[in-house]
Structure 1
Amino acid sequence: MKLQKIDKQLYRSRLNIVIVACIALLAVSSLAISQALIYLFPSESGSNFHWNLLGVIVSAIGVVMTLIKLKTHPKMHEVAYVWDLKQALNLVYRKKRKLDAAAEQGNADAMLALQFSYDGSRQLWTLDDNTITMDSLNTAQAKLDELVEEHGVELDISNYDSAILKAF
């Protein structure tokens, strides 16, 4: 995955539209499905919990399928990019302990993966206005910069590919 420039205002407005649309679609469709099931299959005991639950589950599956189908739509570009970025950062995070150890030993691929993680996290946290943990990120970045200089490694973030994580 390559990091891209994203307009924060456009991202926030499109994310808000997606969130509101998902909530509305989930609420309306779950109620419609539940009521249809209750009408078609009334319960003698008066408890319709299972029909209500089924309505919510079917609606949630429908919303997820709709999001996956619309992921490639041009108006979803910013939201889909952040979605993919979070998944890519999660892959790096799962290997973080091994990457840190390998970076200490001078492994250039480990340093590249960490640099991608730091740059991606910085972008993600800026887009989401989550700057509280930026100090810890800056500390980790400074440590990585020291390792890069110590081992004479040159990092080009555009060369990052998630396939390098398989070695760790």
Structure 2
Amino acid sequence: MQLLNINKQQYRERLNVVIIACIAGLTASSLVISQTLIHFIPSESGSHFHWNALGVVVSAGLLGMTLLKLKTHPKMKEVVYVWELKHALNLIYRKNRQLLEQAKLGNEQAMLALQFSYDGSRQLWQLDDNTITMDSLNRSQQQLDAWVNQYGVTLDITQYHSKILKSF
């Protein structure tokens, strides 16, 4: 995955549309499904919990399939990019301890993964206006920069790919 420049305002607008559409779609379809089931197959005990639960589960499945189909739509580009970035950062986070240990020893691939993580996190936090932990990120970046200078490594995050993580 490569980091892209994303228009923050456009991303926020499109994310809000996706969120509202998902909420509206999930609410409407779960009500329609559960009420249809209750109408055609009423419960003798008067409890329709199972039909309501089934309506929500089926609606969530339909919503998931719809999102997968719309994933390639041009208006979903920014939202899908952020979803994929979060996934890539999560994969790195799972290996963070090993990456830090190896970067400390001069492993260039570990440093590259950490640099991608720091740059991706910085972009993600700025897109989501979540700059509270930026100080922690800056301290981590300073430590990585010290290792890069110590070992004379040049990092190009365009060379990062998730297969690097398999060796850690």
Q: TM-score, normalised by structure 2?
A: 1.00
In structure 2, what is the equivalent of residue 46 of structure 1? Answer: 46
Looking at structure 2, the residues matched to 71 and 53 of structure 1 have their Cα atoms a distance apart, in angstroms, of: 27
Q: How do 1:72-111 residues align onto structure 2 when only pairs under 5 Å count?
A: 72-111=72-111
Amino acid at match of 2:151: H
Q: Which residue number in structure 1 is paired with residue 35 of structure 2?
A: 35
Per-residue deviation, 1:108: 0.1
**In 2, Cα distance between the equivalents of 1:88 and 1:68?**
18
Percent identity over the alignment is 68
Q: Find the aligned partners of 1:7 and 1:59 in 2 and give their Cα distance.
A: 31
The equivalent residue for 1:128 is 128
- Counterpart position of 1:20: 20
User: 1:113 — aligned with what?
Assistant: 113
Distance 1:22 1:94 in 2: 29
Deviation (angstroms), 1:106: 0.2
State the TM-score, normalized to the length of structure 1: 1.00
In the TM superposition, what is the alpha-carbon distance from 1:98 to its structure 2 partner? 0.2
What does residue range 146-161 of structure 1 map to in structure 2 within 5 Å? 146-161=146-161
Partner Cα separation in structure 2 for residue 68 and residue 52 of structure 1: 24
CA RMSD across the alignment: 0.3
Partners of 2:91 and 2:72 in 1: how far apart? Answer: 22
CA separation in 1, counterparts of 2:42 and 2:144? 64
Q: By how many angstroms is 1:97 displaced? A: 0.2
Distance 2:121 2:141 in 1: 11
Deviation at 1:130, TM superposition (A): 0.1
The AA in structure 2 aligned to 1:108 is E
- Equivalent residue for 1:164? 164
- In structure 1, the partner of 2:2 is 2
After superposing on structure 2, the runs of 4+ consecutive aligned residues of structure 1 that deviate more than 3 Å are none
Q: CA deviation at 1:68?
A: 0.9
Structure 1 gaps, min length 5: none
C-alpha distance after superposition, 1:43-75 (max 9, x if no partner): 111000000000000001111111111011000
Structure 2: unaligned runs, 5 residues or longer = none
Give 1:145 deviation, angstroms.
Answer: 0.1
Task: Give the drift of 1:166.
Answer: 0.2
> Aligned pair 1:65/2:59, yes or no?
no
Looking at structure 2, the residues matched to 127 and 160 of structure 1 have their Cα atoms a distance apart, in angstroms, of 21
Name the CA distance, whole Å, in 2 between partners of 1:159 and 1:7: 23
Letter in 2 for 1:14: R
State how far apart, in whole Å, the 2-side matches of 1:119 and 1:113 are: 10
The alignment status of 1:138 with 2:158, answered yes or no, reads no
